[in-house]
Structure 1
Amino acid sequence: MDYGRDINVIRYDGNLKKVQETKGYYDPLQYPVLFPFGTHGWDINTTNCNGRRVSCRAYYSYMLQIRPNDQSMLLNAGQLLQQYVVDNYVKIESGRLRWIKEHQSDIRSELYQGLHDALHVGETNAENIGKRTILPSSFIGSRRDMTQRYEDGMAIVLNGAKPDIFLTMTCNPSWSEITSELLPFQTPQDRPDLITRIFSSKFEKLKDDVINKGVLGKVKSYMYVTEFQKRGLPHVHMLLVLESNDKLRDPKDYDSMVRAEIPKLECEPQLHEAVVRHMIHGPCGIINRKFPCMKDGHCKKRYPKQFLDETRQGTDSYPEYRRRFDESVSLGKDRSVDNRWVVPNNDVESNLTNMLLKDLNELLNLHGKKIDDYDLPSLPPNTIDRGAVPSIIQEELAIDIPNEDIESIAKLNNDQMIAFNTIMNVIVQKHSGVFFGDGPGGTCKTFLYRTLMASLRSRGEIVLATASSGIAATLLPGGRTAHSRFKIPIDIQPSSICGIEKQKDLENLIRVAAAIIWDEAPMTNKNCLEALDRSLQDICSNNAPFDGKVLIMGGGGISSSSSCCKKRY
């Protein structure tokens, strides 16, 4: 039988039993806290009151519904709710893939495209064309789906006109509709179900205003994409093509839609507060030469702009917005700003197509990928900042350091202090070393890891915090699973290597990292550790274990992984 996922349960006799996610007892086994009485979850035979089978998606939508006077255990589960939602969405997607696989035994992928090319070169035997597994365009996220969406967008532009407006709508977790529905002690991040529902409702209202009511002009055609930020909040990028009578043609049209000035406090207090808080560039220049926009002593965004009494057409065909000389606004005791530092409310200075590609590329970068990895147009060279610090490194440097972790050095016991000083001395002296913290649960291994990370990050060093499981990774600030961070193959073999490519951002991140922490290392296959060892030696041309990096592994109990590490390193 084909098991979609490797889920094991230890039987009373000590043997392992594989459990399918399509069985009703999967949920109570995987989430005993949420289902303490062993309540069965969805399985393929689940039916409703009319005897009709219930789909996996319908069942979990039912489970996540908000009901009056119902104290749902799920909706009070915090981060466990997030894991439950992700886990069961994967179950839904797995079911779709399983259905596709079971209903295409006689279908060839080249029947979708390329068959005429094969016939043209003389191939007449269908058995020699294509491959058996087809992921159709109806499967969201598949290559055919992405290609079809891209081609639809390009067809709109080619048959209509270039987009006139690039509109972005972001989710605000402080919306009253969200905060009023939160349960006690909850944050918006604890309720992804609530956020997505409210955002979807507001976006439908925005579409009605823009598309049907024409608040920005009569819309000829439009397209949009919904994305999710790293912290889980959705946002939408929308391209609008206006009818010829409503296109932006002169400075007055620009001024009617785009503003680059600080609103008067007495006239527009709410807008004034929003612009001052969110739409002020910098500080950069002489005030702060280390600001990300600074290059060769100058601001790449050309701030501060010059004062202008009226909007005019720039030399590069882009408008230069009106920025009248006015009194400065104080942002604190050390800084005041004027209209020269205001970021326009709607960014129409850049080429809209390039902006869309840049946004897509930045989103992909969050997952360690680039736009070149997909069937999408490449970024034009003039939109790529070659000298910029890779975003993957910026994210590591921007990880928040909890105050309690910084102050925890004084709370270390004698054994922990010896381990802390030993590891820190090796790192400070730029030596290599592999350390293994072996101890049962409750011996404060995670406390030691967090103290090490806080101490190193407070010095500006980068520490890669990983763990073998997602739950363990959440206990480490900035933590990720080892498979995700190092691109370890899922189907690991004794000769496997990680998917770390040379001259890529991930390789640069590993090069500058001062240390690597791998919690719960005994839980992983020893081939994973050996694959990482081979990969680091290869990309850095260093025969020392793990490229001479300081590697700190830990976990309770002895396994083949821990035994291998102790013997070899």
Structure 2
Amino acid sequence: MPLRYPLLFPAGEDGFHPNIPLCGFHQAGPPIARNREQIDNGVQLRELLDGLGPDEEDEEEDDEDEGDEEDEENGDGERRRSNKRGRGGSTRVSRSQYFAYHLHERDDYFSIPHATQRLFLEFVIDGYSQVETDRLNYIRLHQESLRLTTAQGITDAVANGLTPDQIGRSVILGSTFKNSPREITQRYQDAMACVVKYGKPSLFITVTCNPEWPEIKAALGPNDKACNRPDLIARVFEAKLNRLCDDVFGNKQRAGCFGVVLTHTHVIEYQKRGLPHAHILITLAPDDHPLSTEAIDKMISAEIPDPSRYPDLHETVTKHMLHGKCGGNSTQPCMEKDKYGHPRCKRHFPREQNPHTRMHPEGYPLYRRRFRHAVVKGGVIYNDGDCVPYSPYLCTKYNAHINVEAVTTIGAIKYLFKYVYKGPDRAVARVERAANGEGAREDEPVRDEINEFVEGRYISAPEAVHRLFGFSVGRVWPPVNRLPVHLENQQSVQINPNEPLPLDTPPTRSKLTGFFDLCAAAPDGELTTTLLYTNVPRYYSWNKEKLRRKRRAHDRNVIGRIYTVPLRSGERFYLRLLLEVVMGPTSFADLLMFEDVVYPSYRAARGLLADDGEHHICLREAAQIETGDQLRRLFVFMLIHATVANPPALLDRHFASLSDDARYHIKRYEDVPVNDQTIRLWTLNKIRLLLAANDRTLAFFDLPELTEDEVRLFDRLEERLPRFDRQQCAQDAEAAHARLNHDQRIAFDECLCAVELDVVDQMRDNNLGPQHVFFLLAPGGTGKTFVENALLDTVRARGDQAIAVASSGVAALLLKGGHTAHSTFRIPLDTLPTSTCPVDRESDLALMLRTTKLIIWDEAPMAHRFAVEAVDRLLRDLRETEEHFGGVTMIFAGDFRQCLPVVPKGTPGQTVDASLIKADFWRDIRVLRLTENMRLSSNADAMDEAQLARTRDFAEWLLTVGDGTANMHPYDKIALPDYLLFPDGQRTAEGLINFVYPGLRTVNKESLEDLIQLFSRQAILAPHNATVDRINAKLLEEFNGDYIEYRSADEVVEAGETGGGMAPELISPEYLHSINPSNFPAHHLHLEEGIPVVLLRNLDPDAGLCNGTRLIVSHARSRVIQAIILTGDRAGTTVFIPRVRLETNATGSRQLGFTMRRLQFPLRVALAMTINKAQGQSLDRVGVDLSLHPVFTHGQLYVALSRAMSVDRIKVLLPSRDPADDDDDLQAVDRAAAAATATPNPVFRSVLRAMNGE
């Protein structure tokens, strides 16, 4: 170093050499001897630097645990600096200590390096590069000194006469090297283990160093600049970060500034321009979790503060928290091109004005930005649209860029942690060596992890100083204890190739075998016998010398994490799954036993993964409850949705159960004998028909095919097309026709006339073109479904085909013979402008579509216009005409005041563009209107004049809610009438439950009829799944039954490009279990007999099993659920639900970064349900929970308020009165009243104007 930096060593002083004696620490005090006056926030530099040591709480350890394992295996080791003379008792100065010594100024010594500005930066970077190179060279040179093998490997080697240098594998760059890829991956997995235990993070905080901090400026010399003093930047930033973390995290005596913190993660990063910053993720306790917009507003602001009231905060925000104006400059680093090639800011600045905070179901909240204050910087005007979200408290105290985001609604939490643990920056460089050219060596390893780490490594001066000082690079709390997993006698063993192999030595004990020994000995009774492997570190420490577990004196908050095992590891992967769920196993063999059955492999044990054994159990359990048609439907469910590996074997094994009613039915055919052959043909034909209804064939599943003669033996045309009792249809049509009101009769007659007339006749008689496409505009409760069923009955009574579909499964069940539109027309899940419906022209479905006279599509406004346009193209093709929808009479029905198509992460403009009014054929649709609310007036005879008046007023007011013109609150909220709200004393979740389910505690749980009566006609509605899940969990506790827990089997199908390059095997099973993608069942599904559930997939539309169908569980078995449909045309029907494979769609896979597959019952408890799922239903009693999350999109509030049959049977739960609301323009009393009665009501008025032809 003196030769390389002669200016820094002008007297020719010695540089570093390995024989410098370590004499002790310099006790002269802090390194800076200049003026240290008291600074603005009351902290001196000496105090800050004195605070760099570890917290006392972090150093706590049970006395009796001394010498045992370290629980902190999560990257926090650098924070704790030992007071020993050297590592391992060394008496010599290490290279890192040598450079750290030169980084300090001393009162009695002029430090030349600190005065050389940019040369000092090069010196510290060069110094740390040498330190890191020394460590890497040590690892490289000692690759052969220690090798890893297994206990069984040593035994095999001795038996085969091998020497130590012939067995094992080399270790390249392990996780013990700080900031290596393996170490970063381990820290990432530790952080994800905290997510699995405590749930999603609450807040994401980014803290960036401020070089203008007074502590830094006070320590600078007359000509010094902060950019030339990375030692000051690193030390002050570390001290400030420690103080900030203490404020945010709190301790045992007090909560943090945001509340009680359950777990936190933080990582230090360095930008290439030098300034350090920290990413912090915290998870708050449930009571402090920011679930409501009011809670978010208390923590986070995205507005420029009032300079007269908050001058310090205003200065900090305007200096550090405003995003630069980038819209007109495509060269800005934050700019990127959108899919159309237009430049845009990747941070989406400037943001739109927003009068109040709104929750986004899949991203960051849309924070309140009222545009009340502005500031001019550099001649440019900045307003709230340019403000980065921040914490007023933290920004005021620390005067720095501190970005705070609420992440409670982020779907792909993995992305946050991957961003935090993305690793160091790298310079872009590419050097290639010719395959066989000069410099190539035959013995060069294929992959060198050390070279991969070093090549392109970018080190900034503050990072070099930070690491030379030994400061922490990150931390996860609570500490995570990593647990090994291995097969029997396959634990890792270190061997020295220079020593002989041990003979007749028992296998080395590992933490896993120690766990088995602990459970076998059962020293603590029930605690040990019910202990999971992952919970061991909480109660027991691991003595590394004695290789055994020892009971802690006090239980510790430690998380156990089993090392991730890739699926390709085979039995070790399945062993890991068992260790997650099996309590108190005593040996490897014990894990193979379940319910007195010893399984041949870990994969087969306990059904944690799918195989055909699961399907055999499912059919066997179902056969104990039902026979005949239901079993065949169940068999077809499994073929289509559960990925049966060997369908012929499954059929043969359970053929007796699948055909047990065949003899009875065959007897009805006079010309068909009853024997084994005809029984088999009849059963296969029934299965063929069920498969055909789902666009599948017997051959598709390698099942025996039927010849044309065999098909004709049982097949009739009436079995290929939907069959309805013409006489019953005529009776129902006549009864309905007599009950039509004026508006309903006009709509009925006009639609029926279109069915009876030929399109050619219409073209001749109507100069405006054929009127065969209608839209029945019917607000909630006006009898839309009644008119639709009357039309269906009338057409079917004449012997003609009529198809009824709906955009949701719930609405489809209310139509006679109704199915979902997607299942009927085979609409792709992810539609595009050019999407087509894959219907074979020779199929039964094509025959039905060509012969039908009428198609009714209910809840059409919910459908994406691309889906409707695809159906239009399908019918034109099948019916060979260019008329809209092939000339068939098409009736769309619904209300544009209700929910519109769901566009993932879409803007209001994109949602409007996806709606039906933007379809090409909309201009040719004739709109028919229903106006009289029949739902609210159904009990008019039992009402007095006052009740009738209030019912009429409520019906009129509902329309203004849908139109967005109801009594509006000044801040874009709607004021709800008092009769819809709970009194102050009952404004709780308990009050909501008591209103909706008054008989929940007293109902006879042994009577299925009483339970159906209780649950079939009432529900609690909420806009978000998080609220629904919370209510359902509370109601299950109130129900006080014995629930059964069903665990799913999860796997990663593929990791896409959006996965950030992470290998699928690094995605742990625990993380997969914690994910709940949209419309997926939970990993831990809690069900009990008598509980209502909702179906999450279209299983069998003909049987009434559509997405959204409500059922009640009648029997709960291990592999099959028997349930009874609660609502719709098929209410009372008994059905079977098997476990099925669910796979994330394209949108869900993009959000997760990989395609996920889950094997689980496609059910969710439905005591509470989302507002969108309830659209189309009429309920006797409704409670709407908006206490945590208000509605977030068009139509949700209108749908929720229009579900009830009576105005007296609907209540809305709003947030409690809150006099601490921070709205500056209202007095405290007025604020309390506003919080108590008002709620947001988003309405896309452009859709309503287009519907009205404006």
Secondary structure of the 2:205 match is strand
Corresponding residue to 1:310 among 356, 376, 382: 356
Corresponding residue to 1:200 among 235, 238, 241: 238
Secondary structure of the 1:180 match is helix
Cα separation, partners in 2 of 1:173 and 1:341, compared to 1, 3 Å:
closer
Partner of 1:139: 177
Corresponding residue to 2:116 among 49, 54, 77: 77
Partner of 2:275: 233
Partner of 1:283: 325
Cα separation, partners in 2 of 1:352 and 1:168, compared to 1, 3 Å:
farther
Structure 2 unpaired stretches of 5+:
25-89, 391-403, 441-1254
Conservation of the 8 A alpha-carbon contact between 1:106 and 1:132 = no
Cα separation, partners in 2 of 1:231 and 1:215, compared to 1, 3 Å:
same
Conservation of the 8 A alpha-carbon contact between 1:281 and 1:341 = yes
Cα separation, partners in 2 of 1:176 and 1:487, compared to 1, 3 Å:
farther
Structure 2 residue 151 is the aligned partner of structure 1 residue 151:
no
Shift of 1:220: 0.9
Shift of 1:118: 7.5
> In the alignment, residue 183 of structure 1 is paired with which amino acid?
G
How many residue pairs match? The answer is 346
> In the alignment, residue 268 of structure 2 is paired with which amino acid?
T
Identity of aligned residues (%): 35
Secondary structure of the 1:235 match is strand
Cα separation, partners in 2 of 1:304 and 1:172, compared to 1, 3 Å:
closer
Partner of 1:465: none
Secondary structure of the 1:238 match is strand
Partner of 1:320: 366
Corresponding residue to 2:99 among 60, 64, 67: 60
- After superposition, the C-alpha distances for 1:98-125 in whole angstroms (9 at most, x for unaligned) are 44456664412x44xxx48989999986
Paired residues for 1:6-405 under 5 Å: 27-49=1-23, 52-100=91-139, 105-108=144-147, 110-111=148-149, 115=150, 127-211=165-249, 212=251, 213=254, 214-281=256-323, 283=325, 292=335, 295=338, 296=340, 297=342, 299=344, 301-314=347-360, 316=362, 318-326=364-372, 328-331=374-377, 333=379, 335-345=380-390, 346-348=404-406, 352-358=413-419, 366-368=426-428
Conservation of the 8 A alpha-carbon contact between 1:166 and 1:352 = no
Conservation of the 8 A alpha-carbon contact between 1:101 and 1:133 = no
Give distance in 2, aligned partners of 1:288 and 1:92. Answer: 43
Give distance in 1, aligned partners of 2:343 and 2:232. Answer: 44
- After superposition, the C-alpha distances for 1:130-169 in whole angstroms (9 at most, x for unaligned) are 4445434322123432232122112111122121111111
> In the alignment, residue 389 of structure 2 is paired with which amino acid?
P
Conservation of the 8 A alpha-carbon contact between 2:290 and 2:406 = no
Secondary structure of the 2:405 match is coil
Partner of 1:512: none
Secondary structure of the 1:246 match is coil
- After superposition, the C-alpha distances for 1:204-243 in whole angstroms (9 at most, x for unaligned) are 1112112225112111111111111112221111111212
Give distance in 2, aligned partners of 1:103 and 1:487. Answer: 27
Conservation of the 8 A alpha-carbon contact between 2:188 and 2:417 = no
Give distance in 2, aligned partners of 1:268 and 1:55. Answer: 50
> In the alignment, residue 340 of structure 1 is paired with which amino acid?
G
- After superposition, the C-alpha distances for 1:434-477 in whole angstroms (9 at most, x for unaligned) are xxxxxxxxxxxxxxxxxxxxxxxxxxxxxxxxxxxxxxxxxxxx
Structure 1 unpaired stretches of 5+:
1-26, 369-484, 497-569
Secondary structure of the 1:319 match is coil
Cα separation, partners in 2 of 1:494 and 1:127, compared to 1, 3 Å:
closer
Shift of 1:308: 3.3
Conservation of the 8 A alpha-carbon contact between 1:225 and 1:236 = yes
Conservation of the 8 A alpha-carbon contact between 2:303 and 2:371 = no
- After superposition, the C-alpha distances for 1:472-507 in whole angstroms (9 at most, x for unaligned) are xxxxxxxxxxxxx45477xx97467xxxxxxxxxxx
Give distance in 2, aligned partners of 1:98 and 1:317. Answer: 45
Give distance in 1, aligned partners of 2:101 and 2:417. Answer: 36
TM, length-normalised to structure 2 = 0.26
Secondary structure of the 1:30 match is coil
Shift of 1:201: 1.1
Give distance in 2, aligned partners of 1:233 and 1:325. Answer: 31
Over the residues paired in the alignment, what is the CA RMSD in angstroms? 3.6
> In the alignment, residue 203 of structure 1 is paired with which amino acid?
L
Cα separation, partners in 2 of 1:88 and 1:493, compared to 1, 3 Å:
farther
> In the alignment, residue 135 of structure 2 is paired with which amino acid?
R
Give distance in 2, aligned partners of 1:354 and 1:148. Answer: 16
> In the alignment, residue 60 of structure 1 is paired with which amino acid?
F
Conservation of the 8 A alpha-carbon contact between 1:47 and 1:54 = yes
Shift of 1:266: 0.8
Cα separation, partners in 2 of 1:91 and 1:249, compared to 1, 3 Å:
same
Give distance in 2, aligned partners of 1:178 and 1:328. Answer: 30
Shift of 1:299: 4.5
Shift of 1:283: 3.3
Shift of 1:271: 2.2
Give distance in 2, aligned partners of 1:269 and 1:190. Answer: 31
Shift of 1:259: 0.8
Give distance in 2, aligned partners of 1:254 and 1:248. Answer: 5
Cα separation, partners in 2 of 1:178 and 1:130, compared to 1, 3 Å:
farther
Give distance in 2, aligned partners of 1:175 and 1:239. Answer: 24
- After superposition, the C-alpha distances for 1:29-50 in whole angstroms (9 at most, x for unaligned) are 2222221222112211111448
- After superposition, the C-alpha distances for 1:294-326 in whole angstroms (9 at most, x for unaligned) are 644574555554433322323546422222253
> In the alignment, residue 370 of structure 2 is paired with which amino acid?
R
- After superposition, the C-alpha distances for 1:264-284 in whole angstroms (9 at most, x for unaligned) are 111112322333344334535
Cα separation, partners in 2 of 1:266 and 1:34, compared to 1, 3 Å:
same
Secondary structure of the 2:132 match is helix
Conservation of the 8 A alpha-carbon contact between 2:188 and 2:418 = no
Cα separation, partners in 2 of 1:305 and 1:337, compared to 1, 3 Å:
same
Q: RCO higher in 1 or 2 (8 Å CA, sep ≥ 6)?
A: 2
Cα separation, partners in 2 of 1:293 and 1:172, compared to 1, 3 Å:
same
> In the alignment, residue 312 of structure 1 is paired with which amino acid?
R
> In the alignment, residue 347 of structure 1 is paired with which amino acid?
E
Shift of 1:338: 3.3
Conservation of the 8 A alpha-carbon contact between 1:75 and 1:191 = yes
Secondary structure of the 1:312 match is coil
Conservation of the 8 A alpha-carbon contact between 2:305 and 2:373 = no
Cα separation, partners in 2 of 1:72 and 1:255, compared to 1, 3 Å:
same
Cα separation, partners in 2 of 1:495 and 1:171, compared to 1, 3 Å:
same
Of 127-136 and 200-209, deviating more is: 127-136
Partner of 2:954: none
Conservation of the 8 A alpha-carbon contact between 1:137 and 1:145 = yes
Give distance in 1, aligned partners of 2:152 and 2:276. Answer: 41
Shift of 1:355: 3.8
Cα separation, partners in 2 of 1:289 and 1:173, compared to 1, 3 Å:
closer
Paired residues for 1:402-413 under 5 Å: none
Secondary structure of the 2:195 match is helix
